[in-house]
Amino acid sequence: MLDRSEYVEQAYLFQLLRERIIEQIPLQELLEQVQMELLVTTRLPMAVNYLLTELKHSGLLSPAVERLQHYFTPFQAFLISEAEDETGRFDMRVALHVMQADAKFRSDAITPAGLFLFQFEALCRNGLNYDRGLKAVAADPQFDPAWQSWIGEVRNQVGFIDLADMIFLRSEEYLRLATQAGQDVRDKPVALFGEKEGRIAQANRRKDPTYLLSALQRHLNYPPVPRAIPVDTAKELLPQMMRRMERLEARLKLLEEEARGGIDLSKFYVPPTDFAGS
């Protein structure tokens, strides 16, 4: 886990890359540009320099991010590798937006429950691989062994058992209800979620997981996951219409010349080239 200033600079870096990559500038040039804008009192400029060197040699960022495990999290490396996968549909702009929100959340009052739910929703919203994604989530240093063990259970049982049930069974609300019913809770696993999370999970059982995640964000201020913004095609409409109008004007001129008595082809003549002299 890093200092708060490191996460603040990471969020700023991912924001700059996300905003400027829309201008169709190569990622290599972007890293060279933003390298001078980062705070030198952090270790991020050195990390960016290493990323830039790896990008120049291999053309990929994910191998360098995976090697910098002491600085970047496994989930960040997973997002970059998924964005660079040519067979996938995960866009690099979305990956940078998610990483920006993740770094911003880490710079604030982060909780293991909020971090897990944020990363799990990022997997759901973008249709990413649950097996590799949850493996990267469990390797995050924010999670202690109890959390890592439970995330491993979610990784094995996701799709078979409702997420709301798994959250409810590991909440303080479940232990409270079991105690009221006269059950011995000493042999129960430790609670990872609070009473509010347990109540919300119990109310959203047998429902779409997105309803559960949305309710947790509304009531507990968990960070929302950025969504892909559709490309605005309105900017291209005017240039396309201008080109079509130019072609129509050229055709109308040819029709007018033909109606007057024929098209003057002399203006299309090109002076002969002296191939022998050249």
Indicate whether 136 and 197 sit together in one domain: yes
Distance in Å from the first CA to the final CA of the chain:
70
Helix or strand run (H / E) with residue 44: helix 44-58
In a domain, 230, yes or no: no
Distance of CA 261 to CAs 84, 254, 256, 257, 258, Å? 60, 11, 9, 7, 5
Indicate whether 118 and 178 sit together in one domain: yes
Indicate whether 1 and 100 sit together in one domain: yes
pLDDT digits (tens, 9 = 90+) for 51-63: 988 888 888 888 8
- Any idea what the CATH number is for the domain that residue 70 is in? 1.20.81
In a domain, 256, yes or no: no
Which domain covers residue 134, as residue numbers? Answer: 112-223
What is the C-alpha separation between 112 and 115, in angstroms, rounded? 5
Total domains in the chain come to 2
pLDDT digits (tens, 9 = 90+) for 222-270: 888 887 666 566 667 778 888 888 888 888 887 887 777 766 666 666 6
Distance of CA 1 to CAs 39, 78, 99, 142, Å? 19, 18, 16, 7
pLDDT digits (tens, 9 = 90+) for 207-228: 888 889 899 989 988 888 887 6
Q: Record the pTM.
A: 0.77
Indicate whether 88 and 154 sit together in one domain: no
Q: Which of 204, 223, 242 is the last residue of a domain?
A: 223
Per-residue pLDDT band for 199 (boundaries 50, 70, 90) equals: very high
Q: Which of 55, 77, 110 is the last residue of a domain?
A: 110
Can you tell me which residue has the tokens 């232990």? 175
Indicate whether 104 and 205 sit together in one domain: no
